[in-house]
Amino acid sequence: AQSVAQPEDQVNVAEGNPLTVKCTYSVSGNPYLFWYVQYPNRGLQFLLKYITGDNLVKGSYGFEAEFNKSQTSFHLKKPSALVSDSALYFCAVRDRNNNNNDMRFGAGTRLTVKP
């Protein structure tokens, strides 16, 4: 079964600095990988996904993520953080070889960007 690990519960960065939110995955086959963001008392909002092709995926609000098969990672990055990026970030994975619709979410990483 597929699983996702987000090793950091909390990430703190200063506004204007680059940010990284880490995600590693485990699947029996090849993965489909997703990042979602959740603002307080709101649903999850899709940021980006990796399906195939270029390992660097660009998404909404200036975020990008790099698929690294050898390290089984899909870290979320942004060159210059904004205070408004402060939110809860979830990585999710589906197993390409699994016919069910099971998408597994990580436990989430709370990003705080300080002015």
Which residues, other chains included, contact 32 with Cβ-Cβ below 8 Å and sequence gap of 6+?
49, 50, 51, 93, 94, 95, 96
User: From the list 13, 21, 24, 32, which residue makes contact with other proteins (rule: CB under 8 A)?
Assistant: 32
User: From the list 14, 51, 56, 83, which residue makes contact with other proteins (rule: CB under 8 A)?
Assistant: 51
Which residue stretch of 12-20, 40-48, 64-72, 75-83 sits at the interface with other proteins (rule: CB under 8 A)?
40-48
Q: Rule CB under 8 A: say whether 22 interacts with other proteins.
A: no
Residue 18 dihedral angles phi and psi, to the nearest 5°: -70, 150
Binding site for other proteins (CB under 8 A): 32, 34, 36, 41-46, 49, 51, 88, 90, 94-96, 98, 100-103, 105-108, 110
